[in-house]
Amino acid sequence: MKELLRAAFSQFEKNQIAAVDAELLLAHLLGISRKQIHAQYLELADEDREKLVSNYTDLINQRLVGRPVQYITGSAPFRYLDLEVGEGVLIPRPETELIVDRVIGFLNSSPDKNLQKSVIDLGAGSGAISIAIATEAALKGFKLSVVAVEKSAEAAVWLNKNIAKYDLPIRVVIEDVATALPDVKADIVVANPPYIPSGEKLPFEVEKYEPEIALRGGQVDGMQIPKLFIQAAERLLKPGSFFIIEHHERQGELIRKSLANEFLSAQIHTDLTGRDRFTSALRR
């Protein structure tokens, strides 16, 4: 195993790929955790070793041409979840996990927190936010109904897989946020829209492999799509209800201005790297 890893580390270093990816790929093939690779000695028959080397070489080559490790292994971590992902759905990012903290915090501070509340997740993708909110709220005794709205049929395949995996009663609506859920009113709306300006350069593996529909927010400032999500939240939220949206680090003030007429108490929140990444507000 050590020889395999050393060879992979060398190749990845030359191509500026994180060494941890080599460990993740090997752990995936062996069906063990990354930590277990170094914690135990694995003895394989010659035939099994040849098969392992061949399969590992294939995965290494996929990674060398830029395919994300999450697509290769078919899984991505998000908070306490292990989500199924693949081409056609955005890979959930650690930064997005903070949205869940804000929602749980809002639920915990609500004077009527013992009553059932409704949550709508706009641009649900893999279901990371919906599923994390549903599972963590249940552990804390909050009663929620959750609806996940996703425009992309390709992404919705992964969304449904993950909801089924965790056996949750989350309703999936495959529709544009602008028209989804007419006449519905919710207590909480979370949104992770495409927000990257169309002209902004992205890392090669993101540009080549992840769905553009989940990334690009429009020309110049990237606010075209986020504004549509904000308009949807205006329509879907009850007065006094909670809205939180993820956005580009340079869009905080633009988001705040877009919320000014229909929302109160707008607050910009930073991500794990200290960059402006989310804005929350209350519906007027």
Looking at residue 101, what is its pLDDT? 97
Looking at residue 150, what is its pLDDT? 98
Looking at residue 234, what is its pLDDT? 98
Looking at residue 235, what is its pLDDT? 98
Mean pLDDT by 10 residues, the chain (284 residues): 90 96 95 82 74 95 98 98 98 97 97 95 98 97 98 98 98 98 97 98 97 97 98 98 98 98 97 96 98
CA 110 to chain CA mean position, Å = 26
Residues 163 and 148: beta-carbon distance below 8 Å: yes
**pTM score:** 0.94
